Amino acid sequence: MTAVEIKKDIYWVGAIDWAVRDFHGYETPRGTSYNNYLIMDDEITLIDTVKDDFAEVTIKNIQSIVQPEKIKHIVINHIENDHATSIDRIMALTPNATIYITEKGKKGLARFFDISKWNMKVVKTGDTLNIGKRTLLFLETPMLHWPDSMMTYDKEDKVLFSQDAFGQHIASAVRFDDEFITCESMYELDDAIADYYANILMPFGQLIKSKIADVQKLGIEIDMIAPDHGIIWRANPGKILQMYMDMASGCAKLSVSIIYDTMWHSTEIMTTPIMQGIKDEGLECKIIKLRATPMSVAVKEFWKSRGTLFGTPTINNVMCPTVAQILYHLSGLRPKNRIVGAFGSFGWGGGAVKGAYEEFKKMGLEISEPGLQINYRPSLEDETKCYEFGKEFAKKVREYHKKFES
Ligand code: FEO
């Protein structure tokens, strides 16, 4: 992939990672990209770098436009490894460049590199950098999604370089939203956005809303959003802003996900009549078997649905480990505005369903009680109970969903 001009004299000089399927434990079936940008103004400026494995790629892309030693300014919006670990390679080529970074970014970067010989300028919200015909405005976005995070706004071109925010894990031969929708599909793009948000940004909904409000208060117009992963928003940046506002406000589909695991298929058998009950109440339903599905996909489906039922057999008086694992992971993602319930089979003492409800309570989720436990194998009579359990849950999901309808 070569450099791509995204606006006059502004180039994408990043790298496409077609092969990555495990992104720090998060499944990335579509791969990803590490986007960084070169602004060819009187004072040449690089916005972000890429993951160290791809340092050569970005250097070649930069060289296709200009010799790297001519870069005068380097903005580091975010120090996570996938964006900042090739900074040493870039600085070796342009040692007199100045790095613009937040205070926390500078402290963090010093844990990865010897920064003592680098020119570093700490910036905060409202600070600007004039690079010739353009002025760059810095906006700190702490905890979106790291303490060091910030965005950079090009006032003249109205481009927001948004680091991870508004990104998606997509490797593609095209760079822009309109191109992607034409060559792939709107559904795939929307799904990638939900996937990224659910797995990375779910804990930060309130912050996202307040930061978008801050941007609106500044009265800045946005013509293009250029994130550090995936597709660049040039045709419809308003779409991704609205999607983020909706997701941060707790929007979800009026649907149910059943996320389960099973030992000897008894809990698995329960899922079908439960699903039928949900469907007969008019709600869509997806069934996700944890052992056959990457956890990030299950997290995404949990996030997309207003309601989720977790199915777990009892093993040694507690939940099946895969179900315990996803609930533990979800507790860190701090989900809100979702209703949950649990079901499962047991042999003698039981305990898994009770354990699931204890986790739900800790997370502060809306809870549908009671759960449903079936001894050993579901009988036909038990399957009727499962069907009614599904119907009852669907009714509660529909009722709860009304809170979010305007
Ligand atoms: Fe894409 Fe927070 O790194």
pLDDT tens digit sequence for 126-161: 999 999 999 999 999 998 889 999 999 999 999 999
Residue of the nearest CA to atom 3 in ligand 1?
80
375 in a domain, yes or no?
Answer: yes
197 in a domain, yes or no?
Answer: yes
186 in a domain, yes or no?
Answer: yes
Contact (CB, 8 A) for 30 and 170: yes
Centre of ligand 1 to C-alpha 197, Å, is 12
Q: For 220, what's the count of Cα atoms within 13 Å in the CB-facing half-sphere?
A: 26
Indicate left, alpha or beta for 219 from its phi (over 0: left) and psi (-120 to 50: alpha).
left
CA–CA gap between residue 65 and residue 139 (Å, rounded): 28
Give residues (CB < 6 A) around ligand 1: 78, 80, 82-83, 145-146, 164, 228-229
Centre of ligand 1 to C-alpha 167, Å, is 9
Q: Verify that 83 and 231 share a domain, yes or no.
A: yes
CB proximity list for 316: less than 8 A, separation 6 or greater: none
pLDDT at 348 over 80: yes
For residue 163, give the nearest of 200, 117, 214, 118 by alpha carbon: 200
**What is the residue whose two structure tokens read 């890429």?**
50
Q: Verify that 167 and 273 share a domain, yes or no.
A: no
pTM of the complete model beyond 0.75: yes
Q: Verify that 232 and 348 share a domain, yes or no.
A: no
Provide mean pLDDT across the span 19-32: 92
pLDDT at 19 over 70: yes
Q: Among residues 9, 43, 52, 80, which one is catalytic?
A: 80
141 in a domain, yes or no?
Answer: yes
Answer yes or no: 82 catalytic: yes
Q: Among residues 145, 153, 359, 387, which one is catalytic?
A: 145
Centre of ligand 1 to C-alpha 83, Å, is 7
**What is the residue whose two structure tokens read 């699931």?**
356
pLDDT digits (tens, 9 = 90+) for 234-244: 999 999 999 99
Q: Which of 225, 248, 271 is the last residue of a domain?
A: 248
Q: Verify that 91 and 139 share a domain, yes or no.
A: yes
pLDDT digits (tens, 9 = 90+) for 369-398: 999 999 999 999 999 999 999 999 999 999
pLDDT at 335 over 80: yes
pLDDT at 1 over 80: no
Categorize the per-residue pLDDT at 212 as very low, low, confident or very high, splitting at 50, 70 and 90.
confident
Q: Verify that 179 and 270 share a domain, yes or no.
A: no
The pLDDT value given to residue 383: 98
pLDDT digits (tens, 9 = 90+) for 245-304: 999 988 999 999 999 999 999 999 999 999 999 999 999 999 999 999 999 999 999 999
Q: Domain range spanning residue 16? A: 4-248
Answer yes or no: 229 catalytic: yes
Q: Verify that 171 and 85 share a domain, yes or no.
A: yes
Report the chain's mean pLDDT, rounded to a whole number.
Answer: 96
Q: Verify that 244 and 266 share a domain, yes or no.
A: no
Q: Verify that 341 and 272 share a domain, yes or no.
A: yes
The pLDDT value given to residue 286: 98
Q: What's the number of domains the chain is made of?
A: 2
Centre of ligand 1 to C-alpha 77, Å, is 10
Q: Verify that 212 and 288 share a domain, yes or no.
A: no
32 in a domain, yes or no?
Answer: yes
Q: Verify that 112 and 180 share a domain, yes or no.
A: yes
For residue 180, give the nearest of 239, 137, 133 by alpha carbon: 239
405 in a domain, yes or no?
Answer: no
- Per-residue tokens: 286: 């997806």
Q: Verify that 235 and 273 share a domain, yes or no.
A: no
The pLDDT value given to residue 213: 86
Centre of ligand 1 to C-alpha 80, Å, is 5
CA–CA gap between residue 96 and residue 68 (Å, rounded): 11
Q: Which of 197, 223, 248 is the last residue of a domain?
A: 248
**DSSP class of residue 232?**
B
**What is the residue whose two structure tokens read 């949990």?**
302
pLDDT digits (tens, 9 = 90+) for 46-95: 999 999 999 999 999 999 999 999 999 999 999 999 999 999 999 999 99
For residue 376, give the nearest of 342, 344, 353 by alpha carbon: 344
CA–CA gap between residue 161 and residue 158 (Å, rounded): 10
Beta-strand runs (E) in 197-243: 224-226
Q: Verify that 169 and 279 share a domain, yes or no.
A: no
Residue of the nearest CA to atom 2 in ligand 1?
80
Q: Among residues 196, 244, 260, 387, which one is catalytic?
A: 196
Q: Among residues 73, 83, 229, 401, which one is catalytic?
A: 229
CATH number, domain containing residue 270: 3.40.50.360
Answer yes or no: 265 catalytic: no
406 in a domain, yes or no?
Answer: no
Decide: helix, strand or coil at residue 209: helix
- Point out the ligand 1 atom lying closest to the alpha carbon of residue 228: 1
Q: Among residues 154, 164, 261, 268, which one is catalytic?
A: 164
Q: Which of 248, 276, 295 is the last residue of a domain?
A: 248
For residue 205, give the nearest of 197, 217, 193, 196 by alpha carbon: 197
Centre of ligand 1 to C-alpha 360, Å, is 29
H or E stretch covering 55: helix 55-63
First to last CA, the chain: 45
For residue 386, give the nearest of 268, 265, 233 by alpha carbon: 268
CATH number, domain containing residue 48: 3.60.15.10
Residue of the nearest CA to atom 1 in ligand 1?
164
Contact (CB, 8 A) for 157 and 131: no
- Point out the ligand 1 atom lying closest to the alpha carbon of residue 200: 2
- Point out the ligand 1 atom lying closest to the alpha carbon of residue 149: 2
